[in-house]
Structure 1
């Protein structure tokens, strides 16, 4: 494991310190990443929609409503969603956990999956026609700014798959899944705070430690790991936006980015907690350290699910001639190069094309918004007062921080 910052990180931090631009770049990133959140009204609409969906499925399967559990998974649960580019809708992942007694006598994943698909029918005017995917059914919700990928899951009482739940996989039959356990693992680490961060949020975390279906609060700028992952996912989207189809298919998947970033973040917190002075330093160190958690000790690529050792998120890397690993390495190298090229300069004089390559159009708009805001501050003679405010407290106070086990 890397114990000290690499030359890349040292170069960038040295430049940021020399130009006194760390706070400016963090403010810009904060403005940008807040643009990526699910709007409050969309969150409320989605929550209501999947609640109604659960009740409808229960009725169609002749079950009690309490027998069907519906909850978000993936980026919704970890609060690492990013706004789609162009006019695309938010992709929201939903799990529908069915009672085990339905399939104890006939434990066929294909039967379960297609019976569930039939249960989704009958409300196409609201949800759209159910579209079959590998493990889920897609509901487009015409006219809404989101669509649901709905995955049916059933208990695995004997844990043959290694997890408490199992889902249909067209290649392997039953496949293990543990979205709650994985999200808990992530949130436990994402909620850690470095010494340079304000301690004022400690009580907030304690007060909001309960698991909610969807949070009312936005993710705070002090949520370094969540913000870093949003940044990396946004950069990946921009890098592969106009790529050939085969490269898009091989791009780093979100769960690999999340897992590697979280492992790096945890290691930095445990070994170098007191050596950082800003969020941007932590982000750069996380980016650098990520490849160290790709295991190839047995001749095959492995990135294990931290809460389900039998699941290898990088399993496909071993059967594609090295394409996915090369794409991960290519994207990671591009991310480091873009961050260095961007951050060694001043925010005011940033190159718009470079901003767009890293942050997309949202980043450019956030940059213009910040410059406009700064210009207005100057015109009112209050810039000096703003600069006198402690940077950590100033940034942290922008929005409430994220909470353990909640979604966004």
Structure 2
């Protein structure tokens, strides 16, 4: 990702870990899971309609009239890395919204406790909207959460535009209030999205792309699994990887119980690490998308800048490439949280290797499904199992085992929503 400090050395990467055929089957299993977790066009239309209605109300309310000029989505919705909520009873998605205020709003919201006043005004306005429409509402340190009909949750954060001629994407810089710290922090969600998109456009250097494509064509001819066009998939590798990492994190850490400390790394951390690793690894020769994916996962921890502390611990820094001075890993600087991240990283490497090994030796679904469930959750495994049974029933030939069908209904998990697309 642009402007991110890359490490001086990189983790040693093992050699080739799977055959071309196994790589094709594994990668498109992952891609199919990602596709099936995306909102439908109907759901996207409902999302847009809901938050535009909220934005129109806020623009005309007494608190923000003449100041609020736009409300827009950011985070996972904008980056194409949405995952479904963990609660199986919910069909709605969790999204993040920015309520953008003109720079002149700083004249109203400056001085002692100004950030708190801004958040209080947002809460008051959104509360009136929620009561008028029978919606739920919750207050947080940097945003207000609105629960729309259909189980969609939207985190709405106020940002006062503060464009700068300095820094990367300075034209979209803004100030976001923090209730706990009682100050404004710099933020730049649109600049962050530009940096992510820039990293995603890097073309991977695949050395065996013809063999890989032929393996995919073989799968298509066998009618084992409906596959998308390979070029379309290659253009979305980074988004797919982030989805995979977030889904595995959600399953590994589970839902946080009330009062418990949430040790899971945030989505902004996972996304930034993945984009940085992709920017370095994609131009390097790889046999297939699977080999690239495994190398990126392997090197994720390299992109924290680590400073030894006198007590034997470490201070982790992950610079926000679009907001100067912001450490995205500031909340990770406790031994418990750092240990949790390291444990999760070991787990995902082990489980991915286990799944690849099972596919490589042509293990049956009775072996593969439990491994998929352990890594990606019960709902994913159950949907794959149901689709597998359907394909067996309709099969006209013997000897082919399907991994997943694009028509299956798989739902992913998402932790409790907080600011920045968690």
Q: TM-score range by the shorter chain?
A: 0.7 to 0.9
Residues 32 and 362, structure 1, Cα contact 8 Å, conserved in 2: no
Q: How does 1:36-51 map to 2 (within 5 A)?
A: 36-51=37-52
Query: Does the residue aligned with 2:324 lie in a helix, a strand or coil?
Result: strand
Aligned pairs for 1:72-83 (under 5 A) are 72-83=73-84
User: Runs of 5+ in structure 1 lacking a partner?
Assistant: 199-218, 387-394, 396-406
CA contact (8 A) 1:185 1:307 kept: yes
- Provide the rounded CA distance (Å) in 1 between the counterparts of 2:132 and 2:364: 49
Matched, 1:240 2:253: yes
Q: Please report how far the alpha carbon of residue 121 of structure 1 lies from its aligned counterpart in structure 2 after TM superposition.
A: 3.0
Structure-1 residue corresponding to 2:106: 103
CA distance in 2, matches of 1:370, 1:283: 26
What is the 5 A alignment of 1:108-187? 108-123=114-129, 124-126=131-133, 128-141=135-148, 143-156=149-162, 164-172=173-181, 173-187=183-197
**Equivalent in the alignment of 2:237:** 224
Partner of 1:17: 19
* Structure 1 CA distance for aligned equivalents of residues 398 and 67 of structure 2: 59
CA distance in 1, matches of 2:64, 2:260: 44
Name the structure 2 match of 1:358: 375
Rounded Cα–Cα distance in structure 2 between residues aligned with 1:153 and 1:60: 17
Instruction: Check if 1:311 corresponds to 2:320.
Output: no
Q: How many residues align?
A: 355
Q: Does 1:269 align with 2:275?
A: no
CA 1:129–1:105 in 2, change beyond 3 Å: closer, same or farther?
same
1:339 to 334, 352, 371: 352
Q: 1:246 to 1:235 in 2, by over 3 A?
A: farther
- Does residue 56 in structure 1 map to residue 70 in structure 2? no
State the partner residue of 2:93. 90
| 1:279 Cα deviation from its structure 2 partner | 1.4
Deviations 1:287-326 (A, max 9, x none): 00111111114642101101223000111223x3x11111
Paired residue secondary structure (2:60): helix
Greater shift in the superposed pair: 147-156 or 188-197: 188-197
Other-structure match for 1:212: none
Q: Any conservation in 1 of the 2:68–2:99 contact (CA below 8 Å)?
A: no
* Secondary structure, aligned partner of 2:124: helix
CA contact (8 A) 2:277 2:299 kept: yes
The answer to whether residue 264 in structure 2 is matched with residue 251 in structure 1 is yes
Q: Structure 1 residue 36: deviation in Å? A: 1.1
State the match for 2:411 in structure 1: none
1:193, distance to aligned residue in structure 2 (A): 2.6
**Which deviates further from its counterpart, 350-359 or 52-61?**
350-359
Q: CA deviation at 1:248?
A: 5.4
Deviation per CA, 1:215-270, whole angstroms, max 9, x where unpaired? Answer: xxxx9533111111111111111111167778751111111111111111000124
SS of corresponding position for 1:249: coil
What's the secondary structure of 2:160's corresponding residue? Answer: strand
Residue 303 of structure 2: aligned partner = 293
Q: 2:58·2:126 contact (CA, 8 Å) conserved in 1? A: yes
TM-score (norm 2): 0.75
Question: Any idea what SS the aligned residue of 2:128 has?
Answer: coil
| Mapped partners of 2:202, 2:120: distance in 1 | 42
Whole-Å Cα distance in 2 between the matches of residues 306 and 43 of structure 1? 28
